[in-house]
Amino acid sequence: MTHPILSRIPILGKFVDERFLEHRRRSSSIAGIATTLLALGLFEYRFFHDQRWSWDLFAIVLAFIVLKMSLFTWYRINA
């Protein structure tokens, strides 16, 4: 079984299946978490080394946490 939209494209129908979509989902999730941890690490470095708050990095980390928890709740309720 393939994705309904991707199966309409003749060339992609052979290559895109559930495994491809699952790998893409996992890699996107891992990339988002890694980016957030990098932003958090840079926030802490600027705080401890330069003794200044970096509100833009804090906002990125906070937005990720809120979005991730909202999606956890959404999928849990609608599953």
pLDDT digits (tens, 9 = 90+) for 29-65: 888 899 999 999 999 999 999 999 999 999 999 999 9
Contact 32, 64 (CB under 8 A): yes
SS3 14: coil
- Residues 17/7, Cβ–Cβ less than 8 Å: no
- Mean pLDDT for the chain overall: 82
Q: Is the pTM of this model over 0.85?
A: no
16-40 residues labelled b (16+ CB within 10 A) or e (exposed): beeeeeeeeeeeeeeeeeeebeebb
Pairwise CA distance, residues 47 & 58, whole Å: 11
What pLDDT sits at residue 55? 92
Q: Could you tell me the residue ranges of all domains in the chain?
A: 6-78
Backbone φ and ψ for 5, nearest 5 degrees, come out as -75, -40
pLDDT for the residue 45: 94
Distance of CA 16 to the CA centre of its chain: 21
